[in-house]
Amino acid sequence: ALARAVVVGGGFGGAAAARALHRLGLAVTLVEPSRSYCACPLSNAVVTGLRPMAAQVFGYEGLARSGVAVVHGRAVGIEAAARRVRLAGGGSLAYDRLVVAPGVEMRLDAIPGYDAAASAVMPHAWKAGAQTEDLARRLAAMEDGGLVVLAVPDNPYRCPPGPYERASLIAAYLKAHKPRSKVLILDAKDVFSKQPLFEEAWAARYGGLLEYVPRARGGALLEVDAAGMSLRTEGGTVRAAVASVIPPQRAPELCRDAGLAEAGGWCPIDPVTFESRLVPGVHVIGDAAIAGAMPKSAFSAHAQAETCARAVADLLHGRAPETPRLINVCYSLVAPDRAVSIAGVYGIEWDRLVAIPEAAGISPVGAPDALRAREAGNGAAWFRAVTAELYG
Ligand code: FAD
């Protein structure tokens, strides 16, 4: 009989792992509760009305057609010794190797006042879906002159440059439609991804429409009052017309219950195989894993899936897995149809995934507008290519 792999989660990491494991000759079952996947990359453009939500949504029919058994259900437990995943509602699936890619959980216990009810009023929209559309409606309905507040957590979190992309696109929207308004970024840290490139774009394009407050100037969020639409930081209290609060995150409940996560909330892995350091036979990829210097991105999740799938096949066939090289490229829109990018190559040093400095790349500061336009095209092409590969 074929070796059996079960994959939990049908996002970028899980869908890529299922495809790769199937290609490598395993019998693959993918477990995903939702009938469709709503992709986060480019969803900041949905928030500001530049892109329809439908462009973010993909079905699982393509995966099923390719030969992956797709089970729409929720994994609720892992019996590692018996090599079984338990599903909500009672069933279970046996595996020879398990790959877990459930993404992140928003922490609704981390910022006083920011609970589930508050997140419906100050949407994080950090899992693309209903909150993305809600934030878009709130922004569209806001009167000119309103203050938009965007609160950003400390590292690590999903998509390090994503909040600054969101702020840029909101500023562009305000400039075009509500020029007496302003976007205020409250940050729990002092430095962020692609900072010189964002700051260049902000100064050149948005002027007084965008204000950035780092931790050092009191940007860290201490408390929110959703009913009063107010946010308190060390720097004082502001009232927002529209607020998006991105809370700290951690690996989802399934990972914590199964003993895959350490105290910080994320899952430590062996970077050669992405096998859990805590639970044998279970591999963790994507946002839920601690992948050394790699950022939590869809591009990373895809690359990790390929590495992990090869290692799983090698381990099942008694071969030693090869030492991998992984790549990540993250595009960020700084204005509609204008983007910057950062690329990294990662290798193994001792037992950790580290960035290889001489292989890194970042868009130049001071580049002509035509280059920013070309990079926006490259980013859109990446999204089309990867979603077609995984869901087509
Ligand atoms: P996800 O994509 O979240 O997939 C997890 C899946 O697991 C979900 O479908 C979920 O339903 C399922 N699941 C969860 N729990 C269970 C369970 N118990 N049982 C079964 N299934 C379960 N990345 C980029 O590379 N480029 C970008 O430009 C970019 N832009 C972004 C913009 C925004 C606004 C945001 C929020 C993120 C962006 N990202 C970007 C980051 C990217 O979306 C994530 O890093 C990526 O989705 C991680 O993939 P994943 O497979 O780990 O998790």
Q: Does 352 score more than 90 pLDDT?
A: yes
pLDDT at 275: 98
Model pTM above 0.90: yes
CB 334 within 8 A of CB 165: yes
Q: State the Cα–Cα distance between residues 83 and 255, nearest whole angstrom.
A: 15
DSSP string covering 182-230:
EEEEEESSS--TTHHHHHHHHHHHTGGGEEEE-GGGT-SEEEEETTTTE
Atom 31 (ligand 1) nearest CA? 41
* CA quadruple 364, 365, 368, 369: dihedral sign: positive
pLDDT of residue 123 exceeding 90: yes
pLDDT tens digits, residue range 4-62?
Answer: 999 999 999 999 999 999 999 999 999 999 999 999 999 999 999 999 999 999 999 99
Q: Could you report the per-residue pLDDT of 59-81, keeping only the tens digit for each?
A: 999 999 999 999 999 999 999 99
Alpha-carbon radius of gyration of the chain:
21
Amino acid found at 274: F
Report the pLDDT value the prediction gives residue 284, as an integer from 0 to 100: 99
Pairing of strands 236-239, 230-233: antiparallel
Q: DSSP 3-state assignment of 276?
A: strand
Q: How far apart are CA 197 and CA 195, in angstroms?
A: 5
* Cα 296 to middle of ligand 1, angstroms: 9
39 CA distance to ligand 1 middle (Å) = 7
One-letter identity of residue 29 = T
Greatest Cα pair distance in the chain: 67
Residue 42: per-residue pLDDT:
98
Q: How confident is the model at residue 1 (pLDDT cuts 50, 70, 90)?
A: confident
Of 321, 253, 323, 318, which Cα lies nearest the Cα of 33?
253
Q: Report the amino acid identity of residue 352.
A: R
Which value does ipTM take for this structure?
0.99
Could you write out the DSSP letters of every residue in 53-70? GGGGEEESHHHHHHT-EE
Spatial distance between the Cα atoms of 367 and 72, rounded to a whole number of angstroms: 47
What residues flank ligand 1, with Cβ below 6 Å?
8-14, 31-34, 37, 40-41, 43-44, 74-75, 101-103, 126, 158-159, 162, 252, 254, 286-287, 296-299, 301, 330-331
